[in-house]
Chains A and B, each alone.
Chain A
Amino acid sequence: MTLEVSDLAVARGGVRVLEGVSFALPPGRALVLRGPNGIGKTTLLRTVAGLQPPLAGTVRSEPETLIYAGHADGIKATLSVAENLSFWAQVFGKSDISQALDAFALAPLADRPAGMLSAGQKRRLGLARLLVTGRRVWLLDEPTVSLDRDAVAMFADAVAAHLAGGGAALLATHIELGLDDATVLDLGPFRARPAELDDFDEAFL
């Protein structure tokens, strides 16, 4: 079992947004989170990644398997593309970045300062970071934002290769990636009901 979420409730800004979310993500599978803006896709991903504690429920995964990629790519503008990738590789105890550069067609840009890249190229660099870390479960928040059609295909290939290699991916995206092993989870039914008004005030009325 790679990742198991049971009866999870999450809050954003003190407001309960999702509750009773349960799913299991075995190796080799992808799970796509769907739902309207503001339903809590990002919050759910951040909770699973351990950036914020759940209100209720549990997230079980093998230690040191998760990697989170959010809206911001964590790119340093004054470092070159290769330096940015090497840094993250070293943080995760790896050293080889050539494969990640090739997977997202970044090799010709390797020596360019990351601040000079276009939005789509920056995003490709942010996604290439996933490959250098060697983590098995990818948690991706809108990974295809600002990517063109070719780059989306590149990304879909990278995810497919990752799944074929025994990895797993939890994605919040609205774009069809054409993945064979993907399941869609609609978050609509898990929207948290407004909390019952407690009658604490009544004694004073």
Chain B
Amino acid sequence: MIALLARDLRLAVRAGGGFGLGLAFFLIVVTLVPFGVGPRTQLLAAIAPGILWLGALLACLLSLDRIFALDWEDGSLDLLATAPLPMEGAVSVKALAHWLTTGLPLVLASPVFALLLSLPAAGYGPMVLSLLLGTPALSVIGTFGAALTVGLKRGGLLLSLLVLPLYMPTLIFGAEMARRGAEGLDYSTPLLMLAGITCGTIALLPFASAAVLRINLR
């Protein structure tokens, strides 16, 4: 499993691996919003948590179809399925690798991007914390979507349609937590809900993803 994680990370940072694409996309979305909204700092500060969460979610979505598609095309997925690695483990490792190459950079870069949206100073901590808690769920749910659409030509759009509704609970509680933090309110309830959703998806979805993948490989 460590070998698989190391290989996926290495592939991500090599040429054409797509590392940093999500981050650049996040930056562009966050930069475009002030142009669209106009120079009104008050308004920007009010919508900053929601924009940051939406940006992170879309940036995450961008790289989902690569999780299994490349391995399926070159045949490694068949070989992994016959390897002594349990499919549930392989799927979890894939999700972890996706989070490390997409989610974690977003979390680390988000304070800089929050500056562009003039997020109130009190909101930085809760915002970073909410992304840190929420992005693993995005990767795990996305891995499930990628497993569903593996083998489909041009499956990227279908993948987005399948995955975005599943992202709603994470988005609702994540953005709510960031908003309450920015307004200086108590945010422990959305934090607990967000953490619960993430733990639940990490515990349950790999089994669904592995089952779906087995059926898709037939």
| Chain A residues within CB distance 8 Å of chain B | 46, 49-53, 64, 66-79, 83, 87-88, 90-93, 129
Contacts and interface: CB of A to CB of B under 8 A. Distances in A.
Given A74-B75, A76-B11, A90 B3 contact: yes
Contact of B74 (A50, A72, A129): A72
Contacts of B79: 68-70, 74, 88, 129
A88 B83 CA distance: 9
B78 A74 contact: yes
Interface of B: 2-4, 7, 10-11, 14-17, 71, 73-76, 78-85, 217-218
A6 to B, nearest CB: 21
B78 A51 contact: yes
A76 B74 contact: yes
Residue among B7, B14, B82 with the highest chain A CB neighbour number at 10 A: B82
Q: Tell me the dominant secondary structure on chain A's binding face.
A: loop
Residue among B11, B71, B73 with the highest chain A CB neighbour number at 10 A: B11
Contacts of B80: 74, 91
19 contacts: A64-B84, A68-B79, A68-B82, A70-B75, A74-B76, A74-B80, A75-B74, A76-B76, A78-B15, A79-B7, A79-B11, A79-B14, A83-B10, A88-B79, A91-B3, A91-B83, A91-B85, A93-B84, A129-B79
A46 B214 CA distance: 12
B7 A87 contact: yes
A88 B76 CA distance: 10
Contact of B75 (A53, A73, A79): A73
B10 A79 contact: yes
Contacts of B71: 74
Given A72-B74, A87-B7, A51 B81 contact: yes
A76 B7 contact: yes
A68 B84 CA distance: 12
A92 B76 CA distance: 14
A78 B17 contact: yes
A196 B17 CA distance: 51
Nearest to B76: A74
Given A67-B82, A91-B3, A92-B83, A78 B75 contact: no
